[in-house]
Structure 1
Amino acid sequence: MNGCLRRAKECIYWPGMDAEIREYVSRCSTCRSVDVKQLKESLISHTFPLRPWAKVGTDIFHFQDYEYLMTVDYYSSFVEDDCLENVTSKEVIKCLKRHFSRNSLSFPGIGRFNIPSQAHTFPNPMIIEILQLNEGLQSSPLQRLTGRRTKTRLPTTTSLLRPEIHDESEAIRRQKLKQAHYYNQGSKDLQQLKPTQIVRIQPSGQHKTWRKAMVTKQVGIRSYEVETEGGTYLRRNRRQLRATTEDHNTSTADPPVTRKQSDAVTKSIPTTESIIAQPKPQLQQKPTTTRSGRTARPPKYLKDYVTK
């Protein structure tokens, strides 16, 4: 966009030129297919639960040729890892039933079981976030989950093993506010999309360019369902969708040129030899006289220039 405006300003101008060039470039299919990524949006933190296992988060990650299911308690940050025999909904549900039977039922849950092909590799981003969240707290995740310390091989007095409730909710809230403060630096909230609005989908996997699609509906916070030109329905985050002013199912490519049209255009374009062979027109200048009637002649070093 800036390059087009800069080059246009160097050679031409008309009223409203910037607005017209911006409008034309915004509808260019080639330019829109090679756009850069959008800025990240501001962080939306989860609400802090009031008890252990009231809210859990789950994710699937890959480590040393095996797939693992990680379950995290949002209250205590306690982590449960399970090795999956196969990445299916039935296997994930079986693992979660074991955890809920030992602890308690949780609602709601945050997970991503339906896309095992995009499983994270170790180290998992969720693990890194949990480790950062536990910095500065006075108790471990197990202490916040069970309300006591566990007996280990290290020498421990009996008084430290007695049950004790550790309420770290206020400290965790401060950690979340601090995390959001640093994350939101350089972020920008994008406008909400509407149904039937035309967008471009950020490249991923085998697709190297931004594909054109149409918004069908909003399915969650910053989450939209879109329909591509091929009829495929996809669900994408708002950051992965760039709004555009293009028309759906249309192409801005030039129409095919026939052989006759190509020959006519070729004949109408003058060649370099014909331009050089053409004689240059001689400019006739009227002689200039002074007040006394003497003819003024320009200096010889100006013979190659047109003087007034």
Structure 2
Amino acid sequence: MRSKMKKLHASHLAYDSMMRRARALIFWPGMAAEIKQMSDSCTACQENKPSNQRETLWPHYEGKGPWEKVGTDLMEIQGRTYLITVDYFSNWIEADLLTTSTSTEVIRKLKAHFARFGVPKVLISDCGPQYTSHEFAVFTNRWNISHIRSDPGHPKVNGKAEAAVKTIKNMMRKTIGTGDDQYESLLELRNTPKHDCGYSPAHLCLNRMPRSLLPLTKALEPESYTEGLGAKARHRYTIKKQYDKRARDLPRLSVDQNFYFQSPGNNDWRPGKIMMRDSERSYTVKGTTGGTYVRNRVHIRPRNVPYSDIFSDDETATHEAPLDASSTDLTPHPASESSADPDGIPPLAHGAEPSVRRSGRTRATPTWHKDYDIGKW
């Protein structure tokens, strides 16, 4: 049977294809279950499976006011590095040119923003060296900021900052090409109303419309933005509803079990073990080389036992060494007074069948198999 299974899986097709091939040629009891087990546990198939389906959307809590929650990221354009900081509540964007890409320079720019707008409760970033350094950890602890880092290869956790980087980079490319003033472009960007609530980032952040190069009269000055918050919440709900139509939540994983995981930029699955659950969708895994990595749940999938190992276990359990006839005599002897059981139980009568061990139990073919030739299997 094992050789037939290997031939069925020679092209490493999935379960449905193997079943179509098997039904056209052969049959044995339990065929579907064994083919399913083999297709799911093939090591080569598991390591080359496509990526997991995306999980349902978890909208960020944007806070009750401006600069309560911010995201930050670094971008590079024309050989220059910029620090992008965005407020989750108002979508106010700050772009700072960095002289050096160090934690000290990043902290200095962030302190200037926090001194102007207030210290946020939550700061979200990626796992860049500027944000994972000891100096940055001391800064966030000193300023009482909860620092959240996105998982490697999963920038959606810091999606607000990623979108801000895209916006600023597109704006700078266009202004550089046309020779326009970048600060004027940034001013109009902040004064442009958002489609989700109808209010501009400047109005949500400053509760007023800053004067720009366009005319503004008292009649055009907007009122309080509180009425637009309901529209903003409804817009987020609509986005989540549409996103979740093609997403599903993956089951929670257990610690100290073997799994496959992916690395950023590489879709191949590598064997590893779950070491710790960092958050709801973040895990610390250990690879076969001994290194530890942080991975999102979407980059981890269960690892099934290879089919060859299952066959090896079955063969070990059912093919034990035979009994040694020289040391064990299964032939019953006539009863005698000297060999009588001291408890009065008579010895095994002549002709009675001896007890059968588990590995050598008697097997009878079910009657409904009589129409099939399964002796060779």
Task: Output the TM-score relative to the length of structure 1.
Answer: 0.71
- CA drift at 1:192: 0.4
Q: 1:74 aligns with which of 81, 88, 91?
A: 88
Q: Which runs of 5+ in 1 are unaligned?
A: 253-308
- CA drift at 1:138: 2.4
Q: Return the alpha-carbon distance in structure 2 between the equivalents of residues 221 and 187 of structure 1.
A: 17
Quickly say closer, same or farther: Cα 1:16–1:86, change in 2 above 3 A: farther
Q: 1:16 aligns with which of 16, 19, 30?
A: 30
Q: Deviations over 1:220-254 (max 9, x none)?
A: 1211110001001011111111112238xxx98xx
Indicate the residue corresponding to 1:230 in structure 2.
289
Q: 1:58 aligns with which of 72, 88, 94?
A: 72
Q: Return the alpha-carbon distance in structure 2 between the equivalents of residues 81 and 183 of structure 1.
A: 30
Alignment of 1:212 with 2:278, yes or no, is: no
Contact 1:56–1:74 (CA<8 Å) still a contact in 2? Answer: yes
Task: Output the TM-score relative to the length of structure 2.
Answer: 0.58
Aligned-residue Cα RMSD (Å) equals: 2.9
What secondary structure is seen at the aligned counterpart in 2 of 1:13? coil
- What is the identity, as a one-letter code, of the residue corresponding to 2:244? N
Q: 2:211 aligns with which of 138, 151, 155?
A: 151
What secondary structure is seen at the aligned counterpart in 1 of 2:58? coil
Quickly say closer, same or farther: Cα 1:63–1:183, change in 2 above 3 A: farther
Contact 2:71–2:86 (CA<8 Å) still a contact in 1? Answer: yes
Contact 1:26–1:244 (CA<8 Å) still a contact in 2? Answer: no
Q: 1:126 aligns with which of 155, 163, 166?
A: 163
Q: Deviations over 1:120-162 (max 9, x none)?
A: 9xxx74236999x93142220001111111112222224555x
Q: Return the alpha-carbon distance in structure 2 between the equivalents of residues 85 and 218 of structure 1.
A: 37
Q: Return the alpha-carbon distance in structure 2 between the equivalents of residues 195 and 52 of structure 1.
A: 39
Which structure has the highest helix share of the two?
2
- CA drift at 1:14: 1.8
Q: Return the alpha-carbon distance in structure 2 between the equivalents of residues 236 and 35 of structure 1.
A: 17
Q: Return the alpha-carbon distance in structure 1 between the equivalents of residues 154 and 268 of structure 2.
A: 23
What secondary structure is seen at the aligned counterpart in 2 of 1:202? strand
What secondary structure is seen at the aligned counterpart in 2 of 1:210? strand
What secondary structure is seen at the aligned counterpart in 2 of 1:175? helix
Contact 1:149–1:160 (CA<8 Å) still a contact in 2? Answer: no
Counterpart mapping for 1:76-225 below 5 A: 76-114=90-128, 125-127=162-164, 134-158=194-218, 160=220, 164-167=223-226, 168-205=228-265, 207=266, 209-225=268-284
Higher mean alpha-carbon deviation, 93-102 vs 80-89, is at 80-89
Quickly say closer, same or farther: Cα 1:43–1:96, change in 2 above 3 A: same
Quickly say closer, same or farther: Cα 1:170–1:230, change in 2 above 3 A: same
Aligned length: 243
- What is the identity, as a one-letter code, of the residue corresponding to 2:231? A
Higher mean alpha-carbon deviation, 93-102 vs 3-12, is at 3-12
- What is the identity, as a one-letter code, of the residue corresponding to 2:163? M
Q: Which runs of 5+ in 2 are unaligned?
A: 1-13, 131-151, 156-160, 169-188, 310-377
Counterpart mapping for 1:219-298 below 5 A: 219-246=278-305
Q: 1:7 aligns with which of 16, 21, 30?
A: 21
Contact 1:48–1:173 (CA<8 Å) still a contact in 2? Answer: no
Contact 2:51–2:267 (CA<8 Å) still a contact in 1? Answer: no
